Structure 1
Amino acid sequence: MNSERRRQIDAIVRGSVAYEDGLDTLAVAPAAEVDPALFAAVGDACERLWRGGWQPGELHRAVVRRGGTDRPVLGQAVADAVAAHLRGFRRRDVDERWLAQADELGAAVWWSADAVYASELAARRRLDRVSALDDLLSLLVVLAELPAIEVLVPPPGTAPRRAVPAAARVDERLLDRVRALLAKAESTGYPAEAETYTAKAQELIARHSIDEALLAGAGGPEAGVVPFARRIGVDHPYESEKASLLSAVAQANRCHTVWSPDYGFTTVFGFDADIDAVDLLYTSLLVQAGRAMARSEPPGGKAGRARLKAFRQSFLVAYAVRIGERLTRAAEAALEAAAQEPADLLPVLRSRDEQVRESMLRVFPRTVRGRGSRVDSREGWESGREAADRATLR
């Protein structure tokens, strides 16, 4: 009978059976038949996407993005599917980046048995049974719409464990110092202080990256490190403008980016230590941009809604452009200082850039240059540039 219920579920997801009619059928059917079939369907759909390149955090984010923040059960079910999938593998055999995302989601088996998952989920979330079935069916519809993407991290069971080489990582003590500086930049109400803290953070990052490149060029412990890629989420609203900011930060830190607007993420290509720096800086600068924008934006309300939207878009465009200018100048200054040392730095950096570019072209052999965002508010443009001057590097 479970196979019959599974066919009913698949028909609802495909749309060959009207959604509400299918939901009604499952709601009146015995839970002992529906629940195991529904749990298996969610697990199979998630496994298809993991083998198709999606990572736990990315899939969770895509589901929440499409399903709406008012339906937290969808995200919960994805985290539970991660936990259920990992039961079949030893932790030491799973790529540590996959595990890190699972741990960040808090993926753990809390239900007593797969066959009663839907019923226990309803009780855990204080939902009636029909609402729980509706959420799980909605999740399946969302999952069915997602295509395969590039495999950046091998899912469990598809490749030997790949631990990130210690030489590829930013030193944790350095990361702690950078995080502390950026936290101070985000919390201070004085632009000059924010600029000083952010400048020092970028200085530490740039120096570390150059030192790593020199070690690699000299055949040191970093010599075996290869470029990689990471997908960084870009949240709405104003996704395109935020993606431009991420691109500006990445370029200044010797990384390349590809923006995927349909899925709300940017793929950043570079060496792991540089990508870590990009992730940290982008997150902090976005916080600083939001705070500066809130201080300078015009009043909203119905009459000013269009003006406010134009202001915010123009602000973020200008902010990203100015950030790019200043970060690039800072990177060039760091490079000039390092070039005074007795080391053949420039050929090493050129070689690393070629490696990063080749990695990007392997994953994205064909890309389209994005269209620039419109600037409809001079007030927003000027405020964005001023905020970038205050919030970023010397």
Structure 2
Amino acid sequence: MTLNDSRDARSRADDAAAACREAVWISSADIAPTTVARLFDQADRRWRAAAAQWLDESLRSAQKTAWRRGWQPADVHRLARRKSALAARLSQEVMAFELGGYARATVDRTFWDQLGELERDRNAGRSDAPMRRRTADSDWARSAATAAQLLSLLRTLPQVQKLCPPPGEATPTTDRPTTVVDDRVLARVRGLLAKAESTEFEAEAEAFTEGAQALMTRHSIDRAMLDHQATDHDAPGALRIGIENPYEQPKALLLAVVAEANQCRSVWSQRLGFSTVVGFAAELAAVESLFTSLLLQATSAMGRQGARRTSRTGSRTRAFRASFLEAYACRIGERLRETAAKETERASAGAGFGAALLPVLAARRQETDSAFEEMFPETTTSSSSRSYDLDGWQAGTAAADLAHISWGSELP
């Protein structure tokens, strides 16, 4: 390479870096990617390569910072998806690219598990820089603009609670245990919930759902007693669950009541789009499965109610549906708590655990409360100031109140 070639390369790199920085700055003001794309509308492949290198290195660095601020793949991907489908896809590629720089043993399983499809091939993207691969694409400028938008997002992520060690810091002792939740129990629970989701009869759906709650309560009791007798005592953990638009508040309430019925605590971070649930692993698994299924069931039941209109004010569908979901959450919470309480009473009265059970469960709940308060020392409780739609409230309560509950040997 001659001296002039070297100068040209430096000049090209400086020009590309300047365009990238400007694109990131513009993206922070929520300017549309189509406008930002004009900054990258360059036919020169060498200029594109310089811009791609700058974007790849910057994205990787920003993603690494996000890990250390407590963010996990599902959290980042959820926010990227709000931007666009391309931003979500690019986010997943960036995370895989960044994680590829670590020894496998130093990355907590949570990160790979949350990357979903990449779990099948942990080498995917390890040496494949996302933007450098796109330099020859016809939609390069759009991809680069989306990368700048994603970089702006990553750089503004705040500190959140660390639920597991960030990549590079995990060890065999900090990785999650693999035997805490019985996969056979989870399979049965998911089978019951799948039946609840597929039926068109609300009473049948509720019976399947409460059967799943009873099954998970029994499993939780078994785990609590085994853990109490073990020398290597399990400790509460946490997981984050996305709360998406619309109707975030009643959805967060639904998660909260499911968590309460399963001896967990939850807190909603509205601005960040998720709730954090704190509890033991068996209970967390129950909460995640039940909430996902109940939200689907509630949404289906709500959809069957159709739109609501008045002659004077027009549509009141949104108020109706918000009230429907909130009433549904309140009544479902009562039913699940009743189910859990009855299963606990049955176990404590039986010959297996007897009077030893209740003190163990009380101590376990205290551990969960202590872990929650340590993680979230400044949480606040608020009530809804929204006006309720009476028809929606009554319909939501009715949808959650039609079940015939089966017990004991009648349960699947």
Aligned partner of 2:125 among 109, 134, 155: 109
SS of residue in 1 equivalent to 2:71: coil
Corresponding residue for residue 261 of structure 1: 270
Point out where structure 1 has 5 or more consecutive residues left out of the alignment.
Answer: none
Alpha-carbon deviations, 1:280-300, whole Å to 9, x = none?
111111111111111224446
Q: 1:97 aligns with which of 95, 104, 110?
A: 110
2:391 counterpart of 1:379: yes
- Does residue 284 (structure 1) correspond to residue 305 (structure 2)? The answer is no
Question: Partner of 2:361 in structure 1?
Answer: 349
Q: Is the 8 A contact 1:297 1:380 kept in 2?
A: no
Structure 2 Cα separation of the partners of residues 314 and 370 of structure 1:
17
Contact 1:27 1:133 in 2 (8 A): no
CA gap of 1:35–1:300, structure 2 versus 1, over 3 A, is farther
| Contact 2:97 2:129 (8 Å CA) reproduced | no
Q: Which residue of 2 is the match for residue 213 of structure 1? A: 224
Are residue 39 (structure 1) and residue 56 (structure 2) matched? yes
Structure 2: state its 5+ residue gaps. 1-9, 407-412
Question: Does residue 51 of the first structure (1) align with residue 89 of the second (2)?
Answer: no
Helix, strand or coil at the partner of 1:389? coil
Alpha-carbon distance in structure 1 between the residues aligned to 2:134 and 2:312 = 47
- Counterpart amino acid of residue 398 in structure 2: E
Distance change >3 Å, CA 276–CA 114, structure 1 → 2: closer
Is 2:112–2:118's contact at 8 Å kept on the other side of the alignment? no
Q: Which position in structure 2 is the counterpart of 1:174?
A: 185
Q: Are the counterparts in 2 of residues 288 and 391 from structure 1 also a CA contact under 8 Å?
A: no
Task: Report SS of the residue matched to 1:156.
Answer: coil
SS in 1 for 2:316: helix
CA contact (8 A) 1:240 1:373 kept: no
Q: Cα RMSD (Å) of the superposition?
A: 2.7
Opposite residue 254 of structure 2, the aligned amino acid is: L
AA aligned to 2:331 is: R
In structure 2, relative to structure 1, the CA distance for the partners of 1:305 and 1:96 (3 Å cut) is farther
SS in 1 for 2:115: helix
Deviations 1:114-133 (A, max 9, x none): 6723325xx3xxx5222122
Give the conservation status (yes or no) of the 8 Å contact 2:107–2:167: yes
1:340–1:192 distance in 2 versus 1, CA, 3 Å = same
The DSSP-based 3-state class of the residue aligned with 1:344 is helix
Identical columns (%): 38
Q: How many residues align?
A: 382
Query: TM-score, normalised to structure 2's length?
Result: 0.85
- Residue type matched to 1:58 in 2? D
Q: How does 1:138-177 map to 2 (within 5 A)?
A: 138-161=149-172, 162-168=174-180, 170-177=181-188
Inter-CA distance 251–114: structure 2 relative to 1 (3 Å threshold): closer
Q: Which amino acid aligns with 1:78?
A: S
Instruction: Summarize deviations over 1:230-260 as a string: whole Å, max 9, x none.
Output: 0011111001110000000000100000100
Compare 182-191 and 94-103 and name the one that shifted more: 94-103
Given residue 62 of structure 1, which amino acid in structure 2 is its aligned partner?
A: L
Question: Quick one: which of 78, 82, 91 aligns to 1:78?
Answer: 91
Q: Distance in 2 between matches of 1:75 and 1:346?
A: 46
- Residue 248 of structure 1 is matched in structure 2 by 257
Of structures 1 and 2, the larger Rg is shown by 2
Residues 1:354 and 1:6: Cα distance change in structure 2 (over 3 Å) = farther
> Is 251-260 or 144-153 further displaced after alignment?
144-153
Residues 302 and 82 of structure 1: is their aligned pair in 2 closer, same or farther, counting only changes over 3 Å? farther
Corresponding letter in the other structure for 1:308:
T
1:311 maps to which residue? 320
- Counterpart of 2:370 in structure 1 is 358
Q: Distance in 2 between matches of 1:359 and 1:282?
A: 22
1:27 is matched with which residue? 41
2:81 corresponding residue in structure 1: 64
Deviation at 1:351, TM superposition (A): 1.0
Deviations 1:20-52 (A, max 9, x none): 997544433611221111111111111111111
Counterpart of 2:101 in structure 1: which amino acid?
G
Cα distance in 2, alignment partners of residues 96 and 305 from structure 1: 51
Deviations 1:291-350 (A, max 9, x none): 111122444699876411111011011011111111111121112112213341121111
Please give the residue correspondences for 1:111-130 in structure 2 after superposition, counting only pairs within 5 Å.
Answer: 116-119=132-135, 123=137, 127-130=138-141
Is 1:317–1:375's contact at 8 Å kept on the other side of the alignment?
Answer: no
**Which moves more between the two structures, 343-352 or 276-285?**
343-352
Would the alpha carbon gap of residues 47 and 198 (structure 1) be closer, same or farther in structure 2, given more than 3 Å must change? same
**In structure 2, do the counterparts of structure 1 residues 114 and 314 end up closer, same or farther at CA, with 3 Å as the change threshold?**
closer
Structure 2 partner of 1:203: 214
Partner amino acid, structure 1, of 2:79 = A
**1:388 corresponds to which of 386, 400, 409:** 400
Q: Deviations over 1:191-223 (max 9, x none)?
A: 232122112211111111111112223x137x5
| Mapped partners of 2:28, 2:235: distance in 1 | 49
Judge which range, 21-30 or 367-376, deviates more: 21-30
Structure 1 CA distance for aligned equivalents of residues 295 and 235 of structure 2: 28
- 2:205 alignment counterpart: 194
